[in-house]
Structure 1
Amino acid sequence: MAHHALLQFAASLASSMEILVFLAGPVLLGLLSVIALPGFLAMTLPWPAALSLLAAQALLTCLPAWLLRKRLLPASTAAWLRQLPLPPRLRWQADIAVAGLLMLPLGLAYAVSAAIWLIQSPPWLRTIVAPGMAATLIIWLLAWILTSGIIALRLRAPRPAQGARPPTMTTYVPQRHRWRSVFLWRQLFWLPFWRNENVIGLQQSVLLATAGASMLAWLLRTPLVPAPLLGLLASASLVILTDRGDKAVREQIAVLRPTLDAWPLASTGLTRLACAASLLPAFAVLLAGAFLLYVIDPAVLQQRVTSVYALTASAALLAIVGLPRLTARGRVVLVVLSILALSAIGSELWN
């Protein structure tokens, strides 16, 4: 079941990974080579700093398991597994095996990274190869144990609610809302993205925070990071924020379609409102960026490149939401071309 859940998760990320690999393939390869560095680097530090570094590395290695725990074991599956008459030893073996589905690919990444460092063999590494390899292996095994514990905690029975009151009958009074479409959008699209272990709300919040932070750093010309890289990150965040939001809304519409068709109301306006709402976060970031430029450097708003960037970004976001019949491959092409076009235009902003 865990293997099937991971396959479903990988399929849902296929288009995103294509975009990420196309745009940041060399960066990903660089990150892969760095993953084993903390184990070697810790051997050159005093033991308090070394232990802190190793512990942080182990916790970061467990992060995928923590983030994917609801995918690996949905609430319904966890409730079903709790009812099985399995001995504790067999349960722990199953937890370790499920953790291995995540840890074995990470172990392969550690091996590749360590091999890269051994081939490069910098002078500081030659005297600590053996302890560094041992530390890397210990980090990986510790992360495996912690991941097994995360899965075991997921299978624990939830605590009963404190002070729960028995349900009481109340009189139902029908209400006619003035903004019925907005009310239905909130009930059918906004709230479900935050309830019942749905991660769409959290996902979009993280993407929105990333887009806002990268746009802020780009427009403020943060000295530590090259401006073109910040422009690429800001542009990619805007486009991916809209793409993921629109995809989530389309999937929710597909789930609700039988119910909406059975209701005595025209659902076209509601679905259009839901699709249009997926544009709001990205446009809010663009407007916030324009306001920031107006405050810190009004002359930049008068430049042609600023207007071209805003118009191109608006057209790209509208195309992502307004072309629902694109194939999956066509959508990936649209997203990649939008990011590349915005990055190319944005690179001229501070030149």
Structure 2
Amino acid sequence: MNKDNITIVKTTNGKAKPSENALGFGKYFTDHMFVLDYDIDNGWHSPRVVPYEPITLDPAAMVFHYGQTVFEGLKAYYGTNGKTMLFRPEKNVERLNRSCNRLSIPEIDEELFLKGLKTLIAVEKEWIPKEDGTSLYIRPFILPTETNLRVAPANSYKFIIILSPVGAYYAEGIHPVAINVEKEYTRAVLGGTGTAKTAGNYCAGYKAQKKASEQGAAQVLWLDGVEKKYIEEVGSMNIFFKINGEVVTPELNGSILEGITRMSIIELLKKWGIPVTEKKISFEEFVQAYEDGIVEEVFGTGTAAVISPVGEFRFQDKIMIINNRETGELSKKLYDTITGIQTGKMEDELNWTIEV
């Protein structure tokens, strides 16, 4: 079969597009989706763009029972030149395949992934919002469809990409948030699935997030799952600390997700000549730096927010205020640079974006 032969079936019942001023996140979905099937005999096959519709599965489909599913998250942007822009999508394919490998799911051909994505976006071009800060969120995911209750990898799967127009993450500009340091629950451990984007990693964090919200914090600072000593991530984002002129972030250790924004931040800092180090960071080490008065900025990084400044940490009865709860100069510069590159407002000297 020719993997480039993507069938397109257009809907005859298009949806009304929502107001770009009230999009929120993940509330609305476009008219079409991209679908691939997998079975042992044919591999990944039958690439197609079809009308967005419910998925019909048997109650014994393995996706409902053992959590063997992976996903990705990226965005398409309406560029200043009227073109549709994607930001480093090849890195999302690479990470998806690393997640597939960890979850024993057949990997996707990168060329087919990107061709299917571009085809779907071309069909749905009118759904890309144009207001500042808005974008078209892209959610690729894979689920096992085999009907079987055996505890083993499935033999059949679906790969689907759906699209959702989303609003500006910061409606009134980036705003530092409060973070609750989590000592009871664990996000991931070495050898587990922390490096994969898989469903169970996220729902396992709900209890800690609920506790943080009840205490007035927006997010959770995860510590390592063994010693409850070393900083790993904040919420579902990577985290950076600017301490005494140096930017430090937890090193990838087998339980931390390899963020694409994280990677881009490190590359930008190096390009700018700002010292940046990936290493193990204990929470006690951070507290000591805070008490010494050398913590300058803290920020999380991820696809949704790009940069999320941290205004305070809460641990037991202690509150540590960061940069007077204001967005730091470096955080703002990184946010403006990456979002500028994503939308074509700034020159892409690192060749990170592609046009659709």
Normalising to structure 1: TM-score of the pair? 0.25
Larger radius of gyration: 1
Q: Hey, which of these two has a bigger chunk of strand by percent?
A: 2
Normalising to structure 2: TM-score of the pair? 0.25
Q: Hey, which of these two has a bigger chunk of helix by percent?
A: 1
